[in-house]
């Protein structure tokens, strides 16, 4: 259940940015036990470890002086209760294929999250979200393995401490645990979420899960670049959440600015709109560029280096900050020689 590569391996096929970077060793695993053993072996050699899914939300800023463990734990099972469908999904399953599988099986509730790149096991780390739905709304539990002991743990949604593009897996659990499976609880009484984009054109009384799925796929395919053509990690920056006072000031000058009130009184703004207002679409540094259709996405347009993307991200952040006094933070995780580094510090 372990597939190990030779020493010094290119990570270009293992990150959707398509950035050239090297690791000392790469191991693919298909079981929790194999994952734990690979981690312990690296620890015995005093090597840093990075556990990777499909590399859809990472930027390798340097070569990685350690072992990359690629999580390919498979499996999808469905169980029926009176009011819910319960899914248990291996961490290595492709996310979009999971959404398609559920839709075909008549299990609804994941449609708004269609075409998000990555594996199921990566979804809780970022608390992925799109078009009005976040993972925490459909998640039942997250199973993970304590790397040092090999013990399996099942965390409730509350224990995961989900926030906006945040969870316990980016904090206390980041280096101690690895996600092995995710559980989903999807209500049989399906209600469409039609608050964003083209979905608002659908009639809530007649909209079907298939229509929602198709609309989301169409929006993403027409607005977002294909990483097989132009390497990218999807949305590069988080949508900033500001105080109501700051939002009011912005809206006085830009009444058309997209804004979404939050339960705590703060206001979420659209990072892509802010970048677009700075006329940065198409702006290039080296081989990296701001995508011309969706300003929130930075792309590897022409053999970009990691430094090209870092410099471009820094320029975008500074330009938006100077114009709006709103300072964007990367959603993408930056990986240095021995592990994750502060993305904000890297582009400041």
Which residue stretches of 132-227 are H helix?
135-138, 157-160, 209-223
- The yes-or-no answer on residue 161 being catalytic is no
Strand partners for 71: 29
- The yes-or-no answer on residue 235 being catalytic is yes
Query: What span, in angstroms and rounded, lies between the C-alpha atoms of 117 and 236?
Result: 13
Let me know if 40 is exposed, middle or buried by CB neighbors in 10 A (0-12, 13-18, 19+). Answer: middle
Tell me the two tokens of residue 112: 């708004």
Cβ density class 173-199: b for 16+ within 10 Å, e for less = beeebbbbbbbbbbeeeeebbbebbeb
Q: Is 304 helix (H, G, I), strand (E, B) or coil?
A: coil
Which one of 56, 235, 301, 317 is the catalytic residue?
A: 235
- The yes-or-no answer on residue 20 being catalytic is no
Which segments of 188-332 are extended strands (E)?
Answer: 231-235, 241-242, 259-261, 267-269, 284-285, 288-290, 297-300
Strand partners for 134: 129
Which one of 165, 167, 220, 301 is the catalytic residue?
A: 165
Question: Among all residues, which ones are annotated catalytic?
Answer: 165, 235, 331
């Amino acid at each position: 259940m372990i597939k190990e590569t030779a020493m010094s391996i290119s990570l270009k096929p293992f990150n959707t940015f398509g950035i050239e970077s090297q690791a000392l060793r790469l191991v693919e695993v298909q079981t929790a036990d194999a994952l734990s053993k690979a981690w312990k072996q690296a620890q015995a050699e005093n090597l840093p470890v990075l556990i990777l899914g499909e590399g859809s939300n990472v930027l390798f800023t340097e070569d990685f002086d350690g072992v990359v463990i690629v999580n390919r734990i498979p499996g999808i099972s469905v169980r029926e209760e009176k009011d819910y469908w319960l899914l248990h999904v291996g961490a290595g399953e492709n996310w979009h294929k999971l959404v398609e599988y559920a839709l075909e099986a008549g299990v609804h509730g994941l449609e708004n999250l269609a075409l998000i790149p990555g594996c199921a096991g990566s979804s809780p780390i970022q608390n992925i979200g799109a078009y009005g739905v976040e993972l925490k709304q459909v998640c039942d539990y997250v199973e993970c393995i304590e790397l040092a002991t090999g013990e399996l743990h099942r965390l409730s949604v509350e224990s995961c401490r989900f926030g906006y593009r945040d969870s316990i897996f980016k904090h206390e659990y980041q280096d101690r645990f690895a996600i092995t499976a995710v559980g989903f609880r999807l209500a049989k009484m399906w209600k469409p979420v039609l608050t964003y984009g083209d979905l608002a054109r659908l009639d809530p009384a007649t909209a079907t899960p298939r229509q929602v799925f198709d609309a989301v796929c169409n929006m993403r395919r027409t607005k977002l670049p294909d990483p097989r053509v132009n390497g990218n990690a999807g949305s590069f920056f988080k949508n900033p959440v500001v105080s109501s006072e700051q939002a009011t000031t912005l809206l006085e000058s830009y009444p058309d600015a997209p804004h979404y009130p939050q339960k705590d009184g703060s206001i979420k703004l659209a990072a892509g709109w802010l970048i677009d207002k700075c006329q940065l679409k198409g702006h290039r540094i080296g081989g990296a560029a701001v995508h011309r259709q969706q300003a929130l996405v930075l792309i590897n347009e022409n053999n970009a280096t990691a430094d090209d993307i870092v410099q471009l991200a820094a320029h975008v952040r500074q330009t938006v900050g100077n114009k709006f006094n709103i300072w964007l933070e990367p959603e993408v995780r930056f990986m240095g020689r021995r592990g994750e580094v502060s993305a904000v510090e890297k582009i400041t």
